[in-house]
Chains A and B, each alone.
Chain A
């Protein structure tokens, strides 16, 4: 059996450098343009929070469906979920920037605008933070429980912890469905407080799973290159590729579902959302969003022969990470700051969050053994073939 993961000095240094660059970028951002910086922080935080929760969703799906092929990769999404407490800290710090991003959080607008005034019993800062704390409380409790079960299973063995993990996975999927919908309504959709879309929540949930799978693939391939997870074979990669392919279809379907209904109804109250995003300066991003997140993965991963190659999956996952940034950028920036900014502040702050995420993942991986040694399906997963 393989020994546990040792953090490579280079990766650790890279993580700290990225975090340092992020720190400089955030300070520079607040000095030059606070509204842009707050929107950037919200974007980056939601980005990595989605990845972390998508990873938990991924594990939960594997447990609930009794999936055997993925058993040996459980520690990787298990380490990604460590980002959630950081996201809570950043969301609490966001209290200082509410007025910069959310129209409804500015008292003078909330009084004048009839629609926002009407929504104010729901969209007000105390209730916003109450919901936020309840949601994070539920996530942290479930994640702490799952992590405890995983560690205990690695240490003690036996089916008891597997059954508990499975039970809590069911609870997590249910809780996640409700809470992440509310979270995406509150944190992202309420930026355009005049607009609403009931499909927004499920879009955010499926996006989180989609891009989390991409990150899991990147980490698996990366660990394999470092000499870990030697049992990784083409059938595992085939299953991962299929996951991405199917989720690209789900992503495209949900994106189009939201667009079609708004296009068909043609009501100014809802069409303005797309009007801003399809017009200058966001036009290019709007189409890049569809091409990167749906068209390219759909066409390339359709073939099983291509979808199981590391040389295809690696650039595809990196492309999808850029795609997720564009996806969130189009959801957040047009409504909050209304102009297209992409410079050192955006790149630097993204690098900072990525650095923190990387350090946390490596810490999570080094804490436990890299392969869940007592997982009941481990042997089936190590020798997975189809």
Chain B
């Protein structure tokens, strides 16, 4: 068990995305990429796909129906009152409330779903590829100005893969290359 994981730390997103592209061309498995902001296209480069948009769509559709039912209950069933000569069921007045509440609730539900799915909540212990591999070091700047690519993860990389991976990382302009120590 002397296989090791490897971490490349970059200072720009395009260097990182370049490195990921070249690593995947060589069939070296990339475990994870950590960026301080949502970098477009990284998911696709990692060969992963987010299902969050579909959740948003479902939440939005559900919210439209829910808010409509809520307004219909208020205006027609529970407290029917004539104002401005309008009928009880005055759809145009509903539209803006449906529009606004749909945006608000869809946003909140999507954020909550994201937090639940990624397991991010206040008081959570540090969980990044380094710590998952059993290395106790803390690598700073991941939420600030550093871009991290983790290779090997829990299983580690074989000897020659390790060689070519560090070459690619160095050539793509990695500022730091760290080896993950296995406990």
Contacts and interface: CB of A to CB of B under 8 A. Distances in A.
Given A256-B95, A259-B92, A264 B84 contact: yes
A386 B84 contact: no
Interface string B73-104: 00000000000111000001101100000000
B41 interface: yes
Nearest to A304: B53
Contacts of A266: 84-86
A260 B40 contact: no
Interface residues of B, number: 11
Given A386-B40, A386-B41, A260 B84 contact: no
A263 interface: yes
Interface in B38-91: 40-41, 53, 57, 84-86
A200 B93 CA distance: 21
B41 A260 contact: no
A302 B54 CA distance: 11
A264 B93 contact: yes
B95 A260 contact: yes
Nearest to B14: A385
Contact of A260 (B53, B57, B85, B96): B96
A386 B84 CA distance: 51
Main secondary structure of the interface of B (DSSP, over half): helix
Interface in A194-227: none
Contacts of B95: 256, 260
Contacts of A256: 92, 95
A385 B41 CA distance: 8
Contacts of B84: 264, 266
Nearest to B60: A302
Interface in B95-123: 95-96
Nearest to A235: B41
Contacts of B85: 266
A264 B84 CA distance: 8
A259 B53 CA distance: 31
A302 B61 CA distance: 13
Interface in A347-385: 385
Nearest to B39: A386
Interface in A266-311: 266, 302, 304
B172 to A, nearest CB: 16
Contacts of B40: 386
Contacts of A264: 84, 92-93
Nearest to A386: B40
A385 B42 CA distance: 11
Interface in B144-162: none
A352 B83 CA distance: 51
A268 to B, nearest CB: 12
Nearest to B44: A386
Contacts of A304: 53
A260 B91 CA distance: 10
Contact of A263 (B41, B57, B92): B92
A264 B90 CA distance: 10
Contacts of B93: 260, 264
Interface of B: 40-41, 53, 57, 84-86, 92-93, 95-96
Given A256-B92, A260-B93, A386-B41, 14 more contacts: A259-B92, A260-B92, A260-B96, A263-B92, A264-B84, A264-B92, A264-B93, A266-B84, A266-B85, A266-B86, A302-B57, A304-B53, A385-B41, A386-B40
